[in-house]
Amino acid sequence: MIKGLYGWMLDLARSRHAYWALAIVAFAESSVFPIPPDVLMIPMIIARPRRAFVIAGIALAGSVLGALLGYAIGWGLWESVGRPVLEFYGKGGYFETFAERYNEFGAWAVLIAGITPFPYKVITILSGATGLSLPVFVVASIIARGLRFFLVAALLWSFGAPIRDFIERRLTLVFCIGVVLLVGGFALVRYL
C-alpha cells in the first residue's frame, strides 16, 4: 500500500496540479497521512529548480496548517475519548503528570519531530492532548518544518539531481545527528 501511495505521489509531482497536491499532502501528513511531503517536493524541485523555495514555502504552509489540525484532533479527542478511558481505569492522574513533563520540553519535541523522520503527526496530536501552549507549538512548527523543507530545497537548488540520492537515503541520518548534537550542546551548557 505504501509503495502504491509513493508511486501515486510521484505521478502527482509531474501533474499540473502539483502545487495544490503538495499543499494537501503536507497538510495531511502533519495530522493523519503516512507519507512525508518530501516525496512530492523532491521531484518537483528537480523539475523546476528556479521554483525550489516557492515549493518549500508551499510545503511549509501546508504542514503548519496541518499541524494545527493535528493539535485540534489531540485536544478534541483527548477530552471526548482519551480522558474518559483513563478515568474509567483509574489512571487519569498519570496523564496529568505526563502532560506537565511534556509541556516542559514540548517545544523541543516539536522541533525534533519536525526535522527528523519521527512521525510529526504523533507530536501534533500529543501537543493538543497535553495542552502545549499554542503559540509555542506554532513557532516551533514553523522553525522545524521550515528548516527541513528549505534545507532540502537549498540542496536541490544548489546541486540538482545528483543530490537526490543523498537526500532520499542519508538526509534523515544527517538531521538526526544534527539534532543529537544540538540537544547535546544545550545539555552540556546546562550542566557546565
Note the pLDDT tens digit of each residue in 55-88.
Answer: 999 999 999 999 999 999 989 988 887 777 767 7
- What's the first-to-final CA gap in the chain, in angstroms? 49
- Look up the pTM and report it: 0.78
pLDDT at residue number 118: 76
- Compute the distance between CA of residue 122 and CA of residue 104 in angstroms, rounded to an integer: 17
Q: Write out the residue range of the structural domain in which residue 52 sits.
A: 2-191
**Residue located via cell numbers 527528523:** 116
- Compute the distance between CA of residue 137 and CA of residue 186 in angstroms, rounded to an integer: 20
pLDDT at residue number 58: 97
The number of domains in the chain is 1
Q: What SS3 class is residue 48?
A: coil
**Residue located via cell numbers 543530490:** 163
Beta strands in 57-127 (DSSP E): none
97-134 in b/e form (b: 16+ CB < 10 A) is: eebeebbeebbebbbbbbbbeeebbebbbbbbbbbbee
Q: Computed over its alpha carbons, how large is the radius of gyration of the chain?
A: 18
Amino acid (1-letter code) at residue 85: V
Report the alpha-carbon angle 2-148-36, nearest 5: 15
Confidence of residue 1 (pLDDT cuts 50, 70, 90): low
Is the pLDDT confidence value at 175 over 70?
no
Confidence of residue 9 (pLDDT cuts 50, 70, 90): low
- Compute the distance between CA of residue 169 and CA of residue 147 in angstroms, rounded to an integer: 18
